[in-house]
């Protein structure tokens, strides 16, 4: 029994779920409505959504991408992102924190059978997995200061991570780390309640305040054998997961755009006062206000359409990788996996602008009352801006330009870190 198996065993086992969107939407819609009803109060009081996430886990949300052959619903990526957009419309914080869990879960299909035999049953029993990949500073670009070392008792983990989204809510967290005395990196999946793990709620961003995106510290944390996962740069696994991780952020942005549309229609529909400079009509009948809401709705529609089309391309990539035997080396990565990466790069240029535009245009529909902190309508823009900053649009646009001009596939390094002046000069 692993360090966290006891806590997972106390959870209510999720139900078996269907795989089609209509049935899944009907299953989760009541929960999404409850989550939406409490989102404003949680924002105002900075109440972490532990209960809401627990309810979703018990309803099986965390099992959606477990393959059918391993006992899960095996939903497509497109169906998954449609549900994630629905959840992000209800509360973008909760949808965002699932990024870590589903990133791990999708990567699991590329792992050896001995790893899958351990982790799929845990996920189906209700376990969730957070993320601890990025270091706040002090590590050189492409390297990591968090280290896996071998001791007489086994492998241990030491280091400090920031942007640990979802970890504070999860049973486990997956940690990106260097290997002492070796090149490259590996992932260590460790229990969040294990000795030596300290999870801090110190995220101070002005948006996405309730995602638990703060610090996690690891001090001589024991790693079980099935918690050590390999990662080959540019392999189908690495390329797909990088695209999938970003797709989740885009789905969150699309959900925020829908939330802005929902609140714009609600505020306008219930407003009695108007301006002395207008036509004297109720806001709900004023053609200029109707136009403003229509433009918000169109941006939300377009954002979702881009995300869903991108998800279909990722579905094609996974199917191609499975047909090729899930190759572990970079040279055998199917063309469709690279097309997934390119599709996400395109979407990262367009979807953030649509979501930010929808959130900002919300303030064209009403007057100064919309700025009341009690309404917190600004949270949609703050949340969208926070999500969008994960992927600077200028860098993505440059990569796409290079691809179309020179055929260069986007390529990142193993880890975010401090840039070297010499590296800049070499470019």
Mean pLDDT of 157-186: 94
For residue range 312-350, what is the model confidence (pLDDT) as tens digits?
999 999 999 999 999 988 889 999 999 999 999 999 999
Q: Give the CATH number for residue 21.
A: 1.10.540.10
| 392 and 243 housed in the same domain | yes
Residue 413, pLDDT score: 56
- Rounded to whole angstroms, what are the CA distances from 99 to 44, 83, 139, 321? 24, 13, 24, 22
| 274 and 316 housed in the same domain | yes
147-151 vs 172-179, strand pairing mode: parallel
| 168 and 313 housed in the same domain | no
Q: For CA atoms 362, 367, 371, 373, give the dihedral sign.
A: negative
Closest CA to 330 of 232, 195, 201, 411: 232
In percent, the amount of the chain with pLDDT more than 90 equals: 77
| 253 and 281 housed in the same domain | yes
State the total domains in the chain: 3
Q: Measured between alpha carbons, how far is 139 from 143 in angstroms, rounded to an integer?
A: 6
Q: Give the CATH number for residue 358.
A: 1.20.140.10
Q: Burial letters for 46-67: b for 16+ Cβ neighbours within 10 Å, e otherwise?
A: eebbeebbeebbbbbbbbbbbb
| 356 and 286 housed in the same domain | yes
Q: Measured between alpha carbons, how far is 195 from 156 in angstroms, rounded to an integer?
A: 11
Mean pLDDT of 182-195: 93
| 244 and 393 housed in the same domain | yes
For residue range 34-81, what is the model confidence (pLDDT) as tens digits?
999 999 999 999 999 999 999 999 999 999 999 999 999 999 999 999
Residue 143, pLDDT score: 80
Domain holding 225, by residue range, is 147-230
**Is 97 part of a structural domain of the chain?**
yes
Does the pLDDT value for residue 3 go beyond 60?
Answer: no
**Is 416 part of a structural domain of the chain?**
no
| 184 and 260 housed in the same domain | no
**Is 302 part of a structural domain of the chain?**
yes
- Among 79, 98, 128, the domain boundary falls at 128
Does the pLDDT value for residue 359 go beyond 90?
Answer: yes
| 245 and 372 housed in the same domain | yes
| 28 and 67 housed in the same domain | yes
DSSP state of 140: B
Residue 148, pLDDT score: 97
How many other β-carbons are positioned within 10 Å of the β-carbon of residue 248? 25
Q: Measured between alpha carbons, how far is 40 from 26 in angstroms, rounded to an integer?
A: 24
Question: If you search the block for the tokens 């919309």, which residue do you land on?
Answer: 370
| 181 and 222 housed in the same domain | yes
Tokens matching residue 114? 């001995």
Q: Measured between alpha carbons, how far is 67 from 4 in angstroms, rounded to an integer?
A: 23
Rounded to 5°, angle at Cα 396 from 395 and 397: 95
Residue 427, pLDDT score: 45
Residue 298, pLDDT score: 98
| 31 and 97 housed in the same domain | yes
């Amino acid at each position: 029994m692993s360090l966290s198996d006891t806590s997972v065993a106390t959870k209510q086992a999720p139900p078996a779920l269907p795989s089609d969107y209509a049935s899944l939407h009907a299953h989760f819609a009541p929960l999404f409505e409850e989550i939406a009803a409490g989102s404003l109060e949680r924002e105002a009081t900075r109440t972490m959504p532990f209960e809401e996430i627990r309810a979703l886990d018990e309803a099986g949300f965390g099992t959606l991408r477990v393959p059918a052959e391993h006992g899960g619903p095996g939903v497509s990526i497109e169906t998954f992102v449609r549900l994630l957009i629905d959840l992000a419309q209800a509360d973008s914080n909760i949808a965002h924190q699932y990024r870590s869990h589903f990133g791990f879960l999708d990567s699991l299909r590329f792992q050896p059978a001995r790893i899958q035999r351990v982790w799929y049953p845990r996920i189906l029993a209700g376990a969730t997995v957070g993320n601890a990949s990025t270091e706040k500073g002090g590590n050189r670009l492409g390297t990591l200061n968090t280290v896996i070392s071998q001791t007489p008792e086994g492998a241990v983990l030491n280091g400090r991570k920031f942007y640990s989204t979802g970890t504070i809510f999860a049973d486990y967290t997956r940690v990106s780390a260097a290997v002492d005395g070796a090149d490259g990196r590996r992932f260590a999946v460790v229990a969040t309640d294990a000795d030596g793990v300290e999870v801090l709620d110190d995220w101070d961003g002005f948006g996405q305040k309730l995602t638990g995106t703060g610090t996690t510290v690891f001090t001589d944390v024991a790693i079980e054998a099935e918690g050590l996962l390999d990662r080959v740069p540019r392999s189908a696994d690495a390329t797909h997961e990088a695209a999938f991780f970003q797709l989740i952020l885009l789905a969150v942005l699309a959900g925020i755009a829908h939330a802005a549309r929902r609140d714009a229609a609600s505020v306008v529909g219930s407003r009695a006062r108007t301006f002395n400079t207008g036509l004297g009509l109720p806001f709900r009948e004023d053609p200029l206000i109707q136009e403003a809401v229509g433009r918000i709705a169109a941006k939300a529609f377009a954002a979702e359409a881009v995300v869903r089309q991108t998800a279909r391309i990722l579905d094609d990539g996974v199917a191609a990788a499975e047909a090729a035997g899930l190759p572990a080396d970079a040279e055998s990565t199917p063309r469709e996996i690279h097309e997934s990466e390119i599709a996400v790069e395109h979407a990262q240029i367009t979807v953030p602008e649509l979501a930010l535009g929808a959130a900002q245009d919300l303030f064209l529909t009403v007057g100064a009352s919309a700025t009341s902190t009690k309404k917190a309508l600004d949270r949609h823009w703050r949340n969208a801006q926070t999500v969008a900053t994960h992927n600077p649009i200028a860098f993505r646009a440059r990569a796409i330009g290079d691809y179309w001009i020179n055929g260069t596939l986007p390529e990142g390094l193993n880890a975010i870190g401090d840039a070297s002046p010499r590296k800049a000069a070499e470019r």
